[in-house]
Structures are given as C-alpha cells and as structure tokens.
Chain A
Amino acid sequence: MEQKIVQQLKQGDEKTFREFVENNKDRVVNICYGFLKNRRDAEDTAQDVFIEVFRSIEKFRGDSKLSTWLYRIAVTKSLDVLRKKKRRARFKQLTSIFYENNFESMPEFTSSDKPDSEIEKKERRDILNWAIDKLPRDQKTAVVLNKLQSYSYKEVAEIMGKSVSSVESLIYRSMKKLKIILQNYYEKKLL
C-alpha cells in the first residue's frame, strides 16, 4: 500500500498528494507547533514540509516508513525555523541594549492566589516552553516528540535515526536538565 503511494507521489499524482497531505497535516502541524509554539509559524513550516516532500520524493529510498521520513523533515524544518528566529532575536537584543539593559528575556511569573486558574496554567506553560527551548537540540527534539506530542520511544528513535536506548537516555538527561533550568528560574524569581 505504502509503496503504491510512494510510486504515485513520484509520478506527481495530485490526487495522491492531496490525500497524503489531508491524512498527515494535523500530525505535521503539531510536530512543528511542539517546537515553534506559534500556530501560524507551525502552519507555514508544515506547508514547507509538504513542499519539500513533493520536491524530494524522488530521493526517498524506502529505508524507513514514509510517515517517519515526513516527520523527520518536519523536525528538521522546525529546528531550522527556530534557529533563524533565535538569530533574529539575538540581533534584536543587540540593538535593544542601546535602549534598555535587558539581556535575558525570561517569561513572567506572578504568584497567583488562584493556583488552578487558566492564567496561571498558561503562565506555567510559557515557563515550561521557555525551559524546553534552552535544551540542546537532540534533547529538545526527544522531549517535544515524546512528552509534548506523545510519540513512543520507538517512534522517536525512528524519527531521530537513533536507538531506543539512546532516546531513553536523552529523555532522562533532558528531564534532569529541565529540572535544573526551572530551579534556577524560580530561584531568581522567588529569592
């Protein structure tokens, strides 16, 4: 079945491509969203992913599942977008030092009296996303796919082209590091 789809995609069959996009768009957009945390950026990047698939399907050798290959492109593209965004942010920071002395941009934390409020949850999620963003590339990828997007260790291993045990170790290390980042953050905010 998959071979047939690949064959038809290689032949440039528009109906197959449309079906392929419709069947996978939500998963691709969600992977991109896991990294970019912005719906519009995620959709734009997902479009780039499908354009890339359309253009380079000839290069697909069938070593992995088509979906795995697709998700791998989604991860790579999202990380590229993130890198470019960070570069732009660094440049902005460089220019902003002439106006204010704010080198480190940290998310806001307010001690809320209503611990279960939606605002508090959103704030907490922003802090978590900020902390995840500070992780090294591989750790971040593993966390986003496994924790935020609920892919199994096996699926993450396939997407990242690593063994299951190295993904397990990546996740273990990233959780440890996340704890340290968050501890430092709350220490700065509460002390």
Chain B
Amino acid sequence: MKRNRKTDKRIVYEVERTLELIEEPQSVSTDSYFYTRLKARMQNPGGKNLHKRSVISVLQPAFLFLLLAVNIFTVYYIFKQDSSAQAQQSFADEYNLVLNSTELFDITTQQEGE
C-alpha cells in the first residue's frame, strides 16, 4: 500500500483504538487452592527445579567426560597418523622409492616412452 492521506488516517485510527484498550483493566482471579499450592512449594523447596538440577548435575560431568575422551582420541589419532607417515617416509627413503603416486605414474610413462 502506498502512503497517502487515507493510510495516514488509518494509522492514526488504529493507534488510537489500540491505546484506548490501556484504560481497560486486565485482571485474573486465583482459585481457592492457591495457598495449598504455596504451602506445598514451601515444604518442597526446589520442586521441579530440584529434579532439573539433579539431571544437570549428572549430565554435566558426563558431557565433560565425553569431551575429554574425544580430545584424547583426537590427539592419539593425530600422533598415530604422524608416526605412520614418518615410518612410510623412512621406508621410502631407505629403498629410494617415491611416495607420491603421480610421480610414480610419471616414471612409468617415461619408461614407456623409452
């Protein structure tokens, strides 16, 4: 919709109608068990929060342990990869081999050419 006098009028109308509602009080009423529920909550401090807290107290260390395990595994895996790469390299050096497969391919193509 394009802004014109009609839309401006409509905006003013909507704002006024909405603001009129502020003078109408909003109220809710409580039932007769309010005090009973309050008393129960006072006798059982925490209630559902206590359950939530106990779940968190179990899950938090479990999550930390999992995180630690993942870290240890990652470090172990990296070292293992490094050492196998090192072993491959030393093997290749000893027998004068080229590890890169493309270079190997180049050698064979060279041999075919000869």
Contacts and interface: CB of A to CB of B under 8 A. Distances in A.
A183 interface: yes
B35 A21 contact: yes
Interface stretch (B16-24, B62-70, B82-90, B100-108): B16-24
Contact of A190 (B14, B28, B29, B35): B14
A84 to B, nearest CB: 13
Interface residues of A, number: 38
A95 B15 CA distance: 33
Interface string A110-143: 0000010000010011011001000000000001
A25 B19 contact: no
B80 interface: no
B15 A179 contact: yes
Contacts of B28: 29-30, 33, 39, 42
Contact of B1 (A30, A47, A127, A191): A191
B22 A127 contact: no
Contact of B22 (A47, A148, A183): A148
Majority DSSP secondary structure for residues of B touching A? helix
A50 B38 contact: yes
A191 B10 CA distance: 11
Interface in B1-58: 1-3, 7, 10-11, 14-15, 17-19, 21-23, 25-30, 34-35, 37-38, 41-42
Interface of A: 18, 21-22, 25-26, 29-30, 33-34, 39, 42-43, 46-47, 50-51, 54, 115, 121, 124-125, 127-128, 131, 143, 147-150, 175, 178-179, 182-183, 186-187, 190-191
7 closest A-B pairs by CB? A182-B15, A186-B11, A186-B14, A147-B22, A47-B38, A124-B18, A33-B28
Given A33-B27, A46-B30, A51-B42, 18 more contacts: A25-B30, A29-B28, A30-B28, A34-B26, A47-B34, A124-B18, A128-B19, A131-B18, A148-B25, A149-B25, A149-B27, A175-B19, A179-B19, A183-B11, A186-B10, A186-B14, A190-B1, A190-B14
Interface of B: 1-3, 7, 10-11, 14-15, 17-19, 21-23, 25-30, 34-35, 37-38, 41-42
